[in-house]
Structure 1
Amino acid sequence: MRAARTVAVYSLGGTIAMTTDAATGGVVPALSGHDLLAAVPNLEGHGIELRVHDFRRVPGASLTFDDLAELGAAVDRTLAGGDVDGIVITQGTDTIEETAFVLDLHHGHEQPIIVTGAMRNPTMAGPDGPANLYAAVLAAADPQLRGAGVLAVLNDEIHAARHVRKSHTTSPAAFTSPGAGPIGRIAEGGVRLTTALPHRFGPLAQQRRRDVRVGLYTVGLGDDGELLAAWDGRCDGLVIAAFGVGHVPQRLVESLERLAARVPVILSSRIDNGPVLTGTYGYPGSEKDLISRGLIPSGDLGPYHARLLLHELLAQEADREAIAAKFAVFAH
C-alpha cells in the first residue's frame, strides 16, 4: 500500500551536510541524505514516504551548470514516473537563489521542487538544517503547492525561485524575497499560504546543445571601461549590472554598442530589486540610449538571474530575437 504522500530527497552537500575535518579543522561536506533525515525529529508521524538520492557532496559554491543539468534530468525522470508528490533538494546556501532559478526555468511538472539548506552547520549550537529539512519535506508533500514550480524553504518561510535572495552572510533568517515577500509559511506541521502561487513562465527544454560563457560586469563610480574591454571576444553573452534603473557612465557607451553588435548584452541593475526602465531617461548612457544601441533590458530580473537566463537560452542556441522576447516576459 502506498504511503499517503511520497517525496524524493536529493542531497548535494553544503553546510547542511558538513562535519569537522580533522586535517583542516574546518567543516566539509560529509553527511549523506540518510544522515540528514535521521537528524530530523517527528517526520514519521506525517505518513510521508521518503526516497533518498545522494546526488553530490560538494560545497554550494562548487556546483556547476553541468551539475544542475544532470540534477534536472534526474528529477524529471523521477517526476515522470507519476508516483512522487514532490522533490526536496538539500544544498549549500551560497548558491540556493541561483540553482532554484535555473531549475525553475526548466521545471515542467506540477509537483513542487523545494530547495533548502542550512546557515548553521551541524557542529554549531542550534543548527537549522533539521528544521529546514523538516519544513521542506512538508512543503514538498503538500498538494497546495502543486503548480508552484521551484520554491526555497528556509526558516519556516516559503519563497518563489524568481524572488528569493540570500540577504545576509550568517543569519538563519538570511533568505528573503525583496519586493515580493514569502508566498507562505510552515506552521503546526502544515503549509499556510499568504499569497497566490507564483506565476510560471513556461519551461525551457532540459537539453543543452552547447557550452557557453556568459559574463557579468558591474559598473562602478569612475568606471573608465578598461575592464569592460577585457570581455570582448571572450564571452558568448554579457550582463551589465548598471547603476539605478539602467545607467552607465557616458564613456562606456561606445564600447557597449560594439559589444552588443557581436553578442547579446543584457542591461540590468546592480540594485537587484526593481525594474530596469526602458523609456524615461534620454541622455548618453541612460537606459533609453543603451537600448537604442542594441542592449536588451532585463525587466525585473537582477543581474545574477539575468546571467542565468541568458546562459540557458544561449546554451539552447536561441537567437537575439528569442532572447529579447524571453526577457520581455520578465518585465511584467
Structure 2
Amino acid sequence: MPTCEDRPRVVVYGLGGTIAMAETGAGGVVPALSASQLLQAVPGLSETGIDIDVEDYRRMPGASLDLTDITALAAHINKRLASGTVDGIVVTQGTDTIEETSYLLDVLNTAPQPIVITGAMRNPTLAGADGPANLLAAIQTAAHPSARQLGALVVLADEIHAASRVRKTHTTSGSAFQSPNGGPLGYLVEGIPRVHNQPTHRYALQRTAPVTHPRVALVTMCLGDDGVLLDGLAERSDGVVIAAFGVGHVPQRLLPMLDDLAGRVPAILASRAGAGSGLATTYAFPGSEQDLLHRGWIRAGFLDPLKARVLLWTLLATGHDHSEITEAFAAAGGYTHPASTP
C-alpha cells in the first residue's frame, strides 16, 4: 500500500559489486560507484512515480561480504520497515553471494514489505551492461503491492525469484540466476511485476538479533572422499552442513566421523545435486539418508547446501537449541508447515 499521497517509497541500499564497478586505470574494475550514481544511470526512473531514498551502505565485492555485514544490514532494514514509511527495500550487491545474502535477509525479515536484491552480470564499462535495467526492475518490484508478503526476492533479467529457491548457475550469463525448485515467481512485464507462482509458505525467524557468531562448516562429499576435511571438525565448528551425494548419501567408511559430528554439534544433511529434496525413507544401506537420519543428522529438505548453512548459522546465532533447529529445518526445507515451528 502506498505510504505518501499514492506515491510509493523505496529505500535503495548500495553494497558494491559488479553493478557498481569502474575502471581503475591500471586494468580491471573495482567497486567505486555510489548508490546515488547507480540511480542516476537508470533510464526512465523519474517516470515511475516512485520516491527513492538512498543508503550507500558498503562498497565492496560480493565475495568480501560476510554474515555479520548482512545481519547488520537486516537490522537496519527492519527498523526502516517497522517505521511504516517505506513500501519496499532494494539492495544492490555483487552477484557472487546473492544466493546466500538474499536468503539470510529473507530469514531475518518478518515485515510484509519486500526486500529485493539485485546486481549485474556485466559491469558498467561493458557494452550491454545490465545493471540499470536490473535496478529499475528491482525498484518497480519493491514498490508494487503484489510483492508484499513474499519476503526477500532476487530480481535480475526481468525475472522475480524467491530468495529461498534462487541459485547462481552460470559464471557470466545475464540469465545466471535460476530457481531449480519451482522456477521464478514471476516476471517484469512493461515495468509491472507479474507474480504467477505464489509460494505456499515462507519460513522466517521471530528472533532476529544474533547473540553469538558461530562457525558453521560446509563440506561437500566427492568420489573417494577419505574424510580429511571431517577430521577434528567438531572441535573447530559449532555446526556442520554436509553436501551429500544424490538424495543424501555418504561413503560408508566415513560413518564413524559423521557419528562423532552429529553427536557433538547440529549436523545438517543436504544434497550437492543442485535441485530436488533430500529423502528420508527410500534407501536403507549404511551411509544412506535413512541411516544418517537415524544417526542424528537433520534433513535439509529442499534447501541447497549454501542456504542450509545460512539457516543453521542464523539459528545458532540467535540462540536456538537442537530441537528448535530440527523443527526449523523441517519447515524451511518444505516437509512440515511453518506454523509448527518456534
TM-score, structure 2 normalization: 0.94
> Root-mean-square deviation (CA), in Å?
1.2
Partner of 2:157: 155
Give the 5 Å matches for 1:247-258.
Answer: 247-258=249-260
Partner of 1:115: 117
Cα distance in 2 for partners of 1:32, 1:211 equals 29
Partner of 1:13: 16
Report the secondary structure of 2:222's partner residue.
Answer: coil
Residue identity in the other structure for 2:227: G
Partner of 2:267: 265
Q: Which residue of 177, 182, 185 maps to 2:184? A: 182
Partner of 2:99: 97
Residue identity in the other structure for 1:21: T
CA contact (8 A) 1:3 1:47 kept: no
Partner of 2:338: none
Cα distance in 2 for partners of 1:215, 1:63 equals 17
Cα distance in 2 for partners of 1:108, 1:247 equals 34
CA contact (8 A) 1:6 1:85 kept: yes
Cα gap change, 1:2 to 1:193, in 2 (>3 Å): same
Query: Which consecutive unaligned segments of at least 5 residues does structure 1 have?
Result: none
Report the secondary structure of 2:90's partner residue.
Answer: strand
Partner of 1:170: 172
Report the secondary structure of 1:10's partner residue.
Answer: strand
Cα distance in 2 for partners of 1:32, 1:144 equals 29
Q: Give the share of equivalent positions with the same residue, in percent.
A: 54
TM-score, structure 1 normalization: 0.97
CA contact (8 A) 1:104 1:203 kept: no
Q: Which residue of 109, 127, 130 maps to 1:128? A: 130
Partner of 1:234: 236
Q: CA deviation at 1:140?
A: 0.5
Cα distance in 2 for partners of 1:67, 1:226 equals 31
Runs of 4+ displaced beyond 3 Å: none
CA contact (8 A) 2:214 2:313 kept: yes
CA contact (8 A) 1:17 1:32 kept: yes
CA contact (8 A) 1:3 1:49 kept: no
How many residues align? The count is 331
Report the secondary structure of 1:68's partner residue.
Answer: helix
Query: Residue deviations 1:91-111, cap 9 Å, x none?
Result: 000011100100000101111
Query: Residue deviations 1:251-289, cap 9 Å, x none?
Result: 001110011111111111111211111111111111111
Q: CA deviation at 1:17?
A: 0.1
Does 2:43 correspond to 1:41?
yes
Cα distance in 2 for partners of 1:220, 1:322 equals 30
Give the 5 Å matches for 1:199-238.
Answer: 199-238=201-240
Query: Which consecutive unaligned segments of at least 5 residues does structure 2 have?
Result: 336-342
